[in-house]
Amino acid sequence: MAKKFKSQYKNRPTKPEHEMEEFGSGKKGLILCPKCKAAYFGKAWHHSEVNFKGGEDAPVKFMLCPADAMIKNKQYEGKLVIKNIPKEAAEEIVNLIGNVAESAFAKDPMHRLISLKKVGNDLVGLTTENELAVSMAKKIKNSHKKSKITISYSDEPADIAVAVVEF
């Protein structure tokens, strides 16, 4: 199960992780996302390049980060579906999702809530990371004990988690 929770960026053609590994590893190069200003160095994405120690002559490359590439390609790794939300709980649930998204993003700039929409009677959220949708569902379950959650995964074509919360 633990494997399922891991983001599998490397399997996506839109995410040239290999290129990033080579370019952004060690102290040599820096990759900047023109969309969100995230910076890739030392084998990880950061919110900015402020902590980059490569020096002023380090090569810089501009490339969409995996999260923005995913959004551009209308992809996602996590889907949260909330059914039959009681009217009085709607606002609280939306806030809760926002809070989980915010703290996930603060920890890792690649972990994002892509969208949150009302689809018919459901609320549907898409995330760049499968674990994020799952933890949103669990948070909702925690504050609404009577709701039921179901989590499922699809391996193909991508590692997508679908977390359904039903009231």
The CB-of-111 to Zn ion minimum distance in angstroms stands at: 12
Which candidate, 78, 74, 68, 81, places its Cα nearest to that of 33? 68
The CB-of-143 to Zn ion minimum distance in angstroms stands at: 31
Comparison of 24 and 140: residue with beta carbon closer to Zn ion: 24
Residue 161 lies near Zn ion (rule: CB under 5 A): no
The CB-of-3 to Zn ion minimum distance in angstroms stands at: 26
Comparison of 31 and 36: residue with beta carbon closer to Zn ion: 36
Element (H, E) at 70: helix 66-72
Residue 138 lies near Zn ion (rule: CB under 5 A): no
Comparison of 62 and 152: residue with beta carbon closer to Zn ion: 62
Q: Which residues of 4-27 are buried (b: 16+ CB within 10 A; e: fewer)?
A: eeebbbeebeebbbeebeebbeee
The CB-of-70 to Zn ion minimum distance in angstroms stands at: 10
For Zn ion, the binding residues in 10-49 under the rule CB under 5 A are 33, 35-36, 38
The DSSP-derived string for 87-152 is GGGHHHHHHHHHHHHHHHHHH-TT--EEEEEEETTEEEEEESSHHHHHHHHHHHHHH-TT-EEEEE
Residue 134 lies near Zn ion (rule: CB under 5 A): no
Q: What residues make contact with Zn ion under the rule CB under 5 A?
A: 33, 35-36, 38, 65, 68
